[in-house]
Amino acid sequence: MTAPRVLLVYPAEGGSRLKDAFETAGCRVQQVATATEALATLSTERWDCLVSEFELPGDDGLALRSAVRQLDPELPFILFTASDAIEESVVDAEYDSYVRKNGAASVDRLVSEVTATQPTAALTASQQDVSSAEPSPDELVRTMDTAPIGISLSNPSLTDYPLVYVNDAWEELTGYEAADLLGRNPRLLQGPNTDPETVDRLSEAIANEEPVSVEIRNYRRDGKPFWNELTIAPIYDDGGDLLYYVGFQIDVTDRREAEQLATERAETLESERRTLRRVLDRVNGLLREVSGVLVESTERREIEHRVCETIAAEEGYLGGWIGTVSSDGTDLRLSATKGLPTEIPETVPIAALPAAVGDAVDTDACHLCSVDDAEAEPEGQSETGLDPSTVGGRRLLVVPLCDDERRYGVLGVYGIDAAALDTREQELFDSLGKMIANGLHAVETTRILTTDDVTELRIEIRDPSFRLAQIAAVIGSPVERCGTTTTASGDYELYLTTDAADAVDSTEAGDAVDAVDTPEAAATVDVDPEALISLSFIQAARVVSKTDSELTLSVTMAQLPPDDELAAFGAVVTDTTATADGGTLTVEAPPEQDVRPLLETLQSQYDTVDLRAKTERERREQRPTEFRAVVDEHLTERQTAALEAAHLNDYFESPRPVDGETIAETMDITRQTFHQHLRAAERKLVAAYVDA
């Protein structure tokens, strides 16, 4: 019968063992090293089976399998690999067979898989007469002497079963010469870390004249330990009397060390999983509790105190504090604390605090310090009571409470042990800080919009770098901000008006056709949107509408200064005008808000900032504000955006200067979606008016 032909695709190093195993099983084998060679061989010769390693030079085993199926859909394909990463892919791809490589036994399984793909008759090799080729006694002895594994004989008829024969491999394995070994019991290889239970198993098997295989820790002549895979079996004469015990020794140190390393890695991974689970359980509970605080609380002070209480109550954390930074960045004023066993001053110089506090303030990123830090403490730090050692914790994580450009201070969290507040927890606390900042922003904004009394500030900024001043310079006319919307991507779209008679004719009418919807409007455009886009902070610009007296523009920005900075103080910009030299802001702030830090924030950004007027008054137009609050309760965020965009683009004017598609593009939605949002908003607006 013809032996099955096996194409073995395996790197040059390491394939000989597999090839020998297949040939012993009666197969004819050709080995190639790459997928490219395999495909070339398949295209010119017929094969009964293909065996491939997954990790090949160039294309891997998965890619080879796909190519083989193009050439020969019926050819049995067997993947042989130790890789864990491809197991799911193999299942999905429905391989003919898949054998995991994990030791000598896996080679036997691979051979079985190959033979299983072939007809039984194909594996039946013709039997030859070998009676004239039997080895002589001398040849048998020479074979034993030169065998690649250690072989020994012990004589049970002599006292203490001494060794009477060892081969060359046994000498090389143990470091002993035969002259030093013969006449001595092989237990001389045992040492201080040899397992007594394994020794007892050997002794019991020898006493019962039974074969036994063990892995035992032995020692070479130089004292170096090694793992010995030892097999001992009794040998009898023709009369059934015990003659010798034969021993086979194989050095399996590398395998045992690899297994030990794998076990240690598995234990480390399991420990990591347990730690991660504890972290997730702890932080998820914290996120859940803090979310509840932000939903239920209506005042900033309440939020700050309840957040600190929540942290102190969570397992693994000692306590926490929240503080705000002075306008000059030198002091930290604590507004809430919980779980700290010492009296803490209300205001502390940042220079006297752990360095993590100043780093978090400067970088708007989480920073950690520990009692194990080798760095020297800043002078006076031990008196502040905020360093971990003074509080009684092991670690302090300082979390900035900021969202975009709005900053609401920093949060300090103390971990009880050295494992708390690791890198994963720090990432989660970073998200928690942003979530708290959003909650504080919502509370501050709601407060200023609903309070009866406000402080109205009129602030003059004399600086050509003021963004609206730069826009006024480009179009050659003063501008006034008349509204703001946000896009789906989170950018800001500002609507500005200017005197059409003063605007500079910076383009031919035809150049601005894309900025408006009708040829008639395009013919009257006096401002080039491309000139505005040349300003680095403007992403897009267009002309919304133009009358004989007024021109309305739209510009899109990623950030909205100074609104974002002032929002941190609970202040809202209600009106802005600008010329090429600067601008004037009208700002509403809570009556208790100290205006000095607000002005200092602006002064840090612009050349000259002056407070021209400060008025304490009741909020104007209270009833419309209340009516809007009612409407806002019913409108979704997208419906509100659609309504505002339609109004600011003069969609409700007749004739309309823009159509729905143009407005939809500014909102990054389809025309149909815009109209759906707008119609829903109109229905709710009318219903609120009728019911008011």
What does the DSSP assignment read for 52-63?
A: EESS-SSS-HHH
pLDDT at site 151: 92
pLDDT at site 54: 86
- Assess whether 302 and 373 both reside in one domain: yes
Q: In what order do the strands lie in the sheet with 367-370?
A: 347-349, 331-338, 317-325, 406-415, 395-403, 367-370
- Assess whether 600 and 458 both reside in one domain: yes
pLDDT at site 427: 84
Picking from 408, 442, 476, the residue at the C-terminal end of a domain is 442
pLDDT category at 8 given cuts 50, 70, 90 is very high
pLDDT at site 156: 93
Q: Does 594 map to a domain? A: yes
Picking from 587, 620, 653, the residue at the C-terminal end of a domain is 620
CATH number for position 33: 3.40.50.2300
pLDDT category at 510 given cuts 50, 70, 90 is very low
What are the tokens at 287? 């996120």
pLDDT at site 601: 83
Give the alpha-carbon dihedral of 14, 18, 24, 29, to 10 degrees.
-100
The predicted model gives 199-226 an average pLDDT of 92
pLDDT at site 205: 92
Over 564-628, what HEC string results? Answer: HHHHCCCCEEEEEEEECCEEEEEEEECCCCCHHHHHHHHHCCCCEEEEEEEEEEECCCHHHHHHH
- Assess whether 291 and 423 both reside in one domain: yes
Domain of residue 56: give its range.
5-123
Residue 53 sits at φ, ψ, to 5 deg, of: -70, 150
| Residue 222: closest CA among 156, 172, 165, 274 | 172
pLDDT at site 519: 38
pLDDT at site 123: 46
- Looking at the predicted structure, is the pLDDT value of residue 378 above 60? no
User: Among 1-10, 129-138, 202-211, 348-357, which is the least confidently predicted range?
Assistant: 129-138
- Looking at the predicted structure, is the pLDDT value of residue 120 above 70? no
Element (H, E) at 77: strand 77-81
- Looking at the predicted structure, is the pLDDT value of residue 375 above 70? no
The span from the CA of 648 to the CA of 488, in Å, is 17
Is 336 or 135 the better-scoring residue by pLDDT?
336
The predicted model gives 2-28 an average pLDDT of 85
Q: What percent of the chain clears pLDDT 90, i.e. is strictly above it?
A: 25
- Assess whether 178 and 199 both reside in one domain: yes
Q: Does 88 map to a domain? A: yes
pLDDT at site 185: 92
- Assess whether 162 and 188 both reside in one domain: yes
Give the alpha-carbon dihedral of 192, 198, 203, 204, to 10 degrees.
150
What is the average pLDDT value for the chain, to the nearest integer? Answer: 81
- Looking at the predicted structure, is the pLDDT value of residue 523 above 60? no
Q: Does 31 map to a domain? A: yes
- Per-residue pLDDT reduced to its tens digit, 637-648: 788 888 888 888
pLDDT at site 515: 38
The predicted model gives 159-184 an average pLDDT of 92
- Assess whether 93 and 166 both reside in one domain: no
- Assess whether 185 and 101 both reside in one domain: no
pLDDT at site 400: 94
CATH number for position 179: 3.30.450.20
* Amino acid of residue 543: V
- Looking at the predicted structure, is the pLDDT value of residue 311 above 50? yes
Q: Does 116 map to a domain? A: yes
pLDDT at site 381: 46
* Amino acid of residue 121: A
pLDDT at site 507: 42
Q: Where are the alpha helices (DSSP H) in 322-422?
A: 355-363, 388-391
The predicted model gives 101-108 an average pLDDT of 79
Q: Euclidean distance between the first and final Cα of the chain, in Å?
A: 99
Considering 242-246, 423-427, 513-517, 558-562, the range whose residues carry the highest mean pLDDT is 242-246
Over 106-153, what HEC string results? Answer: HHHHHHHHHHHCCCHHHHCCCCCCCHHHCCCHHHHHHHHHHCCCEEEE
The predicted model gives 502-507 an average pLDDT of 53
The span from the CA of 671 to the CA of 568, in Å, is 36
Is 671 or 121 the better-scoring residue by pLDDT?
671
Q: Does 287 map to a domain? A: yes
Q: Does 635 map to a domain? A: no
pLDDT at site 82: 77
- Assess whether 408 and 460 both reside in one domain: no
Q: Does 65 map to a domain? A: yes
Picking from 620, 638, 673, the residue at the C-terminal end of a domain is 620
- Assess whether 429 and 506 both reside in one domain: no
Q: Does 656 map to a domain? A: no
The span from the CA of 259 to the CA of 279, in Å, is 30
Is 605 or 625 the better-scoring residue by pLDDT?
605
- Assess whether 604 and 458 both reside in one domain: yes
The predicted model gives 389-415 an average pLDDT of 86
Contact 13, 56 (CB under 8 A): no
- Looking at the predicted structure, is the pLDDT value of residue 509 above 50? no
- Looking at the predicted structure, is the pLDDT value of residue 514 above 50? no
pLDDT category at 373 given cuts 50, 70, 90 is low
Contact 337, 348 (CB under 8 A): no
Domain total in the chain: 4
- Assess whether 350 and 474 both reside in one domain: no
- Assess whether 62 and 187 both reside in one domain: no
| Residue 609: closest CA among 380, 327, 359 | 327
| Residue 291: closest CA among 301, 313, 306 | 306
